[in-house]
Amino acid sequence: MTQSDDFIEVYPDLLSVDKCNTIIEGMDKILDNRVTPYMQKHSVADSRVDEALFAEHDFQDAHEMVNDTIARAIELYVEKYSIIDTRNSRVIYPFSTWSVKLQRTPIGGGFHSWHSEVAGNNDTDRVLAWTLYLNSFEGEAETEFLMQHRRINPVAGSVGIWPAAWTHVHRGNPPYSKNCLLYTSPSPRDQRGSGVAGWWG
């Protein structure tokens, strides 16, 4: 399978590095001063310890800053794969999103188990997954896809989008040099009481 037909798209430079850094600084400030930060802890085998903020509740400025960025990325994706365009297709996929999650992954952390974003009854209406990368890495902290034999190398300001279903099983590889900062869409089971918003992944 080539990158031209694997349905994984990466859109560079959709958010400026300055804005990425502004979000990172604000996120670090909130998490470092929070008495009880929201921690995602999975099994020991997963080695996952991530800190997360739900942007529309915890960091409204960031939520507003990147909404247009995500909307543009989805627009570009739908332009290429028009079958999922609800305006022109009989395949009705209403685009909405769950809570927007800002995630800080420490050195050695991440979700290393292979998984898809449609993993249970609460996820069945998910069509796309996306991630906005807030800082850059080379050879670490990639989003790796099992069956496509492909990795997305994080570059600040770029957005990766892919199908949410089992065809795109993936994992987050660990960062080794610094914390990895992402802006992404959680699954419904990760939400904390927020409704459907206009975002993605």
Domains of the chain, by residue range, sit at 11-190
CA angle in degrees (0–180, nearest 5) for 174-114-149? 85
Q: What is the pLDDT along the chain (201 residues), one digit of tens a residue?
A: 445 589 999 999 999 999 999 999 998 988 888 755 555 544 444 455 678 777 777 787 887 778 788 888 888 998 898 877 655 544 444 444 556 788 899 898 877 889 888 876 566 667 888 899 999 999 999 999 999 999 999 999 999 999 988 999 999 999 999 999 998 875 443 333 322 222 223
Amino acid type, 198: G
* pLDDT, tens digit, 9 for 90 and up, residues 137-192: 999 999 999 999 999 999 999 999 999 889 999 999 999 999 999 988 754 433 33
Q: Is 4 exposed, middle or buried, given 0-12, 13-18 or 19+ CB atoms closer than 10 A? A: exposed
Count of other CB atoms within 10 angstroms of residue 114: 12
Q: From 188, 74, 181, 81, select the one nearest 134 (Cα to Cα).
A: 181
pLDDT of the residue at 6:
94
Determine the Cα–Cα distance for residues 180 and 138; give it in Å rounded to an integer.
12
11-190: which CATH architecture? Answer: Sandwich (2.60)
CA angle in degrees (0–180, nearest 5) for 112-118-124? 165
What is residue 175's DSSP assignment?
Answer: P
